[in-house]
Each structure stands twice: as structure tokens, then as C-alpha cells.
């Protein structure tokens, strides 16, 4: 293809070299003498064709080089973006692991509290049962004996167990929360 375009350029250039810059080929017979080419004009013509082809290929090469440089710059930007995303992903993964560990610790603490609550609830039930057993048996017998003896001695009976508990609760509230008025 290059030789075809060079031949076409050569033939068009050769006609202009032979005729001269301002000649009209049809006017040779009217008094003007045709220009005769001097020197090695074919060599000059081939050189001009090769120079034109070189310029054409050099421009194409420059265009391709510009495209390659642009693509390379875009590739560098994309690689940097990938690296930034990997760093961000690593930070997020680290934060995720930290939060999962914190959540695991919270769940473990919650399980411990649940177990402790169950244990304390059981202890409370045991204490209520113990109180009820003592109240219904030994305390009731002892209170009856004490009240009977106090009555024989002319003393008033002891307050009921509930009155004693209420008095203790009132003292606890005053001691624990002295600013609260009762």
C-alpha cells in the first residue's frame, strides 16, 4: 500500500516538476518552451515520497504513543485506586474483627450475668423457703411461748414478724437514702 501511494505521489509530483510551478501544459504550443527537468529528478521525487510517508508514519506513531501514555496513566490511577480500596478493606476488616470480638465479650458477659441472675433467683427462692419454714415452725412456737410468758409477766406481746420486718425496711431506707424524707 505504501508503494502504491508513493507511486501516485511520485506521478503527481513528477508532472509538477516537469511543467514548472506556474505552467499550463496546454500552452506549450503558443510560444512557450517546455521546461526540461535537470538533474536526477527521479531520485528527488522518490526522496520526497519517502519523506511524506515517514511523516505520515511518524504522526501515526505519535498518535499511538499518546494513546499508550494516556492508557498507562489511566492504568496507574486504577492501580492506585485498587491499592486504596485494599487498604480501606483491610481497615474495615480490622474494625469488623474488633467489633466482633467486642460483641463476643459482651455476649460472654451477658451469659455470665444470666447465670448469676439464675443463681441469685434460686438463692432468693431458697431463702424464702427457709424463712417460711422457720416462720411456720420454730419461730411460731418460740413466739407463742415468749408472748405467753410476757403476758404472764404483765408485759405487752412482741410485735408481729411483719411489723418487725417493716421497721427494719424503714430503717434501711433512712440509712441507705438519708436525703429521702419519709
Higher pLDDT, 133 or 181: 133
pLDDT tens-digit map of 28-72:
456 677 766 666 888 889 999 999 999 999 999 999 999 999 999
Highest mean pLDDT among 18-22, 109-113, 148-152: 109-113
pLDDT top residue among 121 and 175: 121
In this structure, are residues 157 and 151 in contact, taking their beta carbons and an 8 Å threshold?
yes
3-state secondary structure the chain: CHHHHHHHHHHHHHHHHHHCCCCCHHHHHHCCCCCCCCCCHHHHHHHHHHHHHHHHHHHHHHHHHHHHHHHHHHHHHHHHHHHHHHHHHHHHHHHHHHHHHHHHHHHHHHHHHHHHHHHHHHHHHHHHHHHHHHHHHHHHHHHHHHHHHHHHCCCCCCCCHHHHHHHHHHHHHHHHCCCCCC
| Residue 25 binned pLDDT confidence (cut-offs 50, 70, 90) | very low
| Mean pLDDT calculated for residue range 83-99 | 97
Is it the case that residue 8 has pLDDT exceeding 60?
Answer: no
Amino acid at each position: 500500500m505504501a508503494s502504491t501511494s508513493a507511486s501516485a505521489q511520485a506521478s503527481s509530483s513528477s508532472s509538477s516538476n516537469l511543467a514548472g510551478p506556474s505552467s499550463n501544459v496546454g500552452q506549450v504550443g503558443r510560444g512557450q518552451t517546455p521546461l526540461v527537468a535537470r538533474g536526477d529528478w527521479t531520485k528527488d521525487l522518490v526522496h520526497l515520497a519517502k519523506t511524506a510517508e515517514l511523516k505520515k508514519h511518524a504522526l501515526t506513531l505519535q498518535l499511538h504513543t499518546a494513546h499508550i501514555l494516556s492508557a498507562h496513566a489511566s492504568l496507574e490511577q486504577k492501580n492506585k485506586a485498587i491499592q486504596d480500596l485494599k487498604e480501606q478493606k483491610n481497615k474495615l476488616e480490622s474494625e469488623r474483627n474488633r467489633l466482633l470480638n467486642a460483641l463476643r465479650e459482651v455476649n460472654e458477659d451477658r451469659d455470665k450475668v444470666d447465670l448469676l441472675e439464675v443463681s441469685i433467683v434460686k438463692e432468693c427462692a431458697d431463702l424464702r423457703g427457709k424463712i417460711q419454714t422457720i416462720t411456720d415452725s420454730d419461730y411460731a412456737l418460740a413466739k407463742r411461748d415468749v408472748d405467753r410468758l410476757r403476758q404472764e409477766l404483765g408485759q405487752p406481746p412482741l410485735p408481729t414478724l411483719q411489723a418487725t420486718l417493716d421497721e427494719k425496711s424503714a430503717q434501711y431506707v433512712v440509712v441507705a437514702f438519708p436525703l429521702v424524707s419519709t
